[in-house]
Structure 1
Amino acid sequence: MTFAKIAQKLALWAGSPKTFLGAIVLLVLWAVSGPFFQFNDTWQLIINTSTTIITFLMVFLIQNTQNRDTDILHLKVDELLRATKNAQNAMLGLEALDLKQLEALRKHYQAMGEDEVKGLEGLEEKNKIDLNQC
């Protein structure tokens, strides 16, 4: 199995309610064992080391699954852009732009959006909807 497949299966397992419940049970068992070990340094070191190792490994697991989810989302948006006749196909290559170029593009689209919002002013009062009634 590749790392991606293993990471996805581990992420599903780690995010399950059963795993969360198991972690709670282990923490309770550790806490209850405190008096037996007289709350000594080794008793504390067990939980500190365990949580540190688990956190360290989970960072890589979460990053892998996040990267995969981001790639999937980008591909879906790319397909929507490609299939939409009025969309600017230049948006399909945004990954190649640097931060300055992205910021300039963001400002351009914000300005476009602000112009659109100005056209909507007053419309809110005419069509006022109480969203709490939905």
Structure 2
Amino acid sequence: MERGKINLFERMATRITAWTGSSMAFGVALGIILVWSVTGPVFKYSDTWQLVINTGTTIVTFLMVFLIQKSQNKDSKAIQLKLNELIAASRFASNRMVDIEDLSEAELDVLRKFYRKLAEMSEEDSDIHKSHSIDAAQRLHRHKTSGISGLTQGDTGSQE
């Protein structure tokens, strides 16, 4: 497909969400509400008068949900790619963390508990450059369960 056809909705969503997040958009919305409020006595606060604001705000809200979600999805993807690049570039980071957003919530909770433990371990270390990663923890676990020596202090980040 052509680039222009694919990105029409994306470009429109980006522009609209940028504008609706501005002070000017807030001012316009506030102005509409004020005009509606002031016209209440003119229309004797009728059901039609109330229906106008209810219908208008419902339609705008309904459409904005989709525009904002499109914008959020794009931003989320960009952030994930930036984080993946940082993980890939860092010699201390585990490449297993790339694409963890595809894990279930239960699997993410297990990882969060693991990283809490690593944070506690790193607080005890005086050298902030030691690696505390999934890979280092697995090497330590293999070392402990197999009895194989050769594990260095830099692998776990803690003094043994």
List aligned pairs for 1:12-23, cutoff 5 A: 12-23=18-29
Tell whether 2:42 aligns with 1:32.
no
Query: Structure 1 regions of 5+ residues with no counterpart?
Result: 121-134
Secondary structure of the 2:98 match is helix
Distance in 2 (alpha carbons) for counterparts of 1:85 and 1:116: 17
Residue deviations 1:65-101 (CA, integer Å, cap 9, x gap): 1111111111111111111112111111313322332
Tell whether 2:11 aligns with 1:5.
yes
1:63 is matched with 69
Instruction: Count residues with an aligned counterpart.
Output: 120
Residue deviations 1:4-56 (CA, integer Å, cap 9, x gap): 11110110111111111111111111111111111111001101111111111
**Rg bigger for which structure?**
2
Percent of aligned pairs with the same amino acid: 43
TM-score after normalising by structure 2: 0.69
Secondary structure of the 2:99 match is helix
Q: For 1:23, give the aligned amino acid.
A: A
TM-score after normalising by structure 1: 0.81
Query: Structure 2 regions of 5+ residues with no counterpart?
Result: 1-6, 127-160
Q: Which has the higher helix share?
A: 1
Q: For 2:75, give the aligned amino acid.
A: D
